[in-house]
Chains A and B, each alone.
Chain A
Amino acid sequence: MAQPPPLLASRQLEVGYLGQAILPPVDLEIRAGEFWAVIGRNGSGKTTWLKTMLGLMPPVKGSVEQSRADLNLSYLPQRKAIDELYPLLARDVVRMGLDRKWSFVRPWFGGEPPEVERALDEMGVLGLANEPFRRLSEGQKQRVLFARLSVSSAHLAVLDEPTSAMDQVAEHEAFTLLDGLRKRHGLAIVIVSHYLGMVRRFADRALLLDRDTQTALSGAPSAVFADDRFQARFSERPPPLETAEDGDD
């Protein structure tokens, strides 16, 4: 069967700062419904690569190609990039998912569409709709932000370490929720994660980035984990396949 065209593709993409590349060129294609995991140690260039793919940073060389002009992207940055000083209810945060392509000649008005409550319900946090976002637990906040993704009409969602502040149970739940979003909405997901067990269980594509060894390796997670460069960098075998029981302890 022929593969669908890629939503987003990097062509000999080099990322970095002030014209200085920090990683080797990357060629890859992200298709609808794919679950990509970007892995690598701290400071390996994962966030820089993501931001360049999203157009938040200019590429040093190469290009990022979108399949269509109206491609909808959504981004869940690292938690520190979200300002929790803002007094917003959970439903206000989800409502932002619908705020797309604002312009001065076409600003948004109007009330809250029904999709907001549907998405909160989908993520199991409808009861928290009127709670202040900043008072929620880390797991609850992530569910609300996932609800924001759900309503965003995105074709591709990019998440930068969304489970970094979670325990193993919450992390497993988060991956399960994201996988559900992918299946229900046909969404492509790209996630940065340090939890290799979850990557092995949920992702169908992986990208290993390493600035120190100038590695950029993509493929099926099992193939990436078996590669010598992965083995050398992580210096241990990848953890066994996660099971539901594993997540419950």
Chain B
Amino acid sequence: MTDAAPASSSEALSEQELEQAFGGDLGAGPGAQPSATVAATPEAPAMGADRSAREGAPSWKEFSHGWELGIYRDPVLCGVFAGLVLGVLGVFVVLRRAVFVTAAVSQAAGLGVALAFLVELTWHVPVPPVGGALVLALTATAILSLRMQRMRLPSETLVGLIYLGASAGAILVGDRIAQDSHDIASILFGTAVLVRPLDLSLVFAAGLVTLAVIAVCYRGFLFAGFDPEGARVHRLPVRALDLLLWALVAIEVSVTTRAIGALPVFAFAVVPAMAALALVERVRWALVVAAVFGGLSGGLGYLFAFFFEFPVGASQATLALLFLLVCLPIARVLRGSAA
């Protein structure tokens, strides 16, 4: 994905520029693209990508100034909350051995955004990009729930097919909706550098719904995953629970991918859960630890990107990986002492 470092305030957007950037919400459609591209594209002059021209390293003062203006607050909050919720959801994704489902659904969401733009450009029918992302993500999830055994193929092949089809489709459709190739990724996925207020609201809303459903269905998800046949005999709606879980993944992934990009979303949905499951011996604690690791990866990753001038999404993913690398030897020591 395309990504960028956060701009330090010496080169940051003025309030007027911010207004211009956020005023043109991508959600409004391709007509808003030029101003939105300012907000989301790494090469945009307003984001000050020419690092050589910069005087000194970014400072806390600059960051706090940008925070007060809302430039950094929203993406940091978005990264923290997306990391937290995806961390929790990721525990179930990893336990279901379906980590690449997240990647495939994310790509499908990107295709949905592209199609939404294409529909508006071609037929002048306004389609909310997030709506397109949701529809395609849910469709991909429904296809993934097909029983591949009947086709004498392993389930992974379907994940690969969806990933491939959605990726190719997004690029082909994107070619018709963007003038420059570097615009496509930011239009489809966002960049985590700046987050539009609408996207932040959607991330919060989808996250709260996801957490609420997990809280209500926790015991059902647990039994249905650990021993699905035993659960069915106990009259649990195992199939409905499975569909609900993957619907949550589709919604959360499509909304967060739109806001912060595919790479950090995939990282948050997999890596914190891996670290947590390596570290603790109880699912409920794994959920807490994964939420903490995910949230920290989102927040600290942004700070790391700001102060060391790295791309945000990649920094957040790297932070998550660092947590995992720290946790693995600790888990080994803990297992050794327990044995």
Contacts and interface: CB of A to CB of B under 8 A. Distances in A.
Interface stretch (A28-36, A75-83, A199-207): A75-83
B233 A102 contact: no
Given A56-B229, A76-B230, A102-B236, A87 B217 contact: no
Contacts of A75: 229-230, 233
A223 interface: no
Most chain B CB within 10 A, of A81, A92, A109, is at A92
Given A83-B95, A88-B282, A103 B237 contact: yes
Interface string B223-244: 1011111111111110010000
A107 B226 CA distance: 17
Contacts of A128: none
B101 to A, nearest CB: 16
Contacts of A54: 233
A158 B229 CA distance: 12
B220 interface: yes
Nearest to B286: A87
Contact of A102 (B226, B227, B237, B283): B237
Most chain B CB within 10 A, of A51, A73, A85, is at A85
Interface stretch (A93-101, A165-173, A182-190, A229-237): A93-101
Given A74-B233, A104-B237, A86 B283 contact: yes
Looking at chain B's contact residues, the main secondary structure is helix
B12 to A, nearest CB: 44
A86 B95 contact: yes
A77 B225 contact: no
A77 B236 contact: no
A133 to B, nearest CB: 9
Given A85-B95, A87-B280, A89-B282, A108 B219 contact: yes
Interface residues of B, number: 30
A51 B283 CA distance: 29
Interface in A56-76: 56, 73-76
Looking at chain A's contact residues, the main secondary structure is loop
A54 B234 CA distance: 10
B281 A132 contact: yes
Given A73-B233, A107-B220, A96 B226 contact: yes
Contact of B283 (A81, A82, A88, A158): A88
Nearest to A149: B230
A96 B219 CA distance: 8
Interface in B209-266: 216-217, 219-220, 222-223, 225-237, 240
A152 interface: yes
B219 A88 contact: no
Nearest to B230: A75
Nearest to A85: B95
Nearest to B235: A101
Nearest to B238: A102
A100 B234 contact: yes
A154 B230 CA distance: 12
A-B pairs, 3 with minimum CB distance: A75-B233, A132-B281, A108-B219
25 contacts: A56-B232, A56-B233, A74-B233, A82-B227, A83-B95, A85-B95, A85-B97, A86-B226, A86-B283, A87-B280, A88-B226, A88-B282, A92-B282, A92-B283, A96-B222, A96-B223, A96-B234, A101-B235, A102-B220, A102-B236, A104-B217, A107-B216, A108-B220, A109-B219, A158-B233
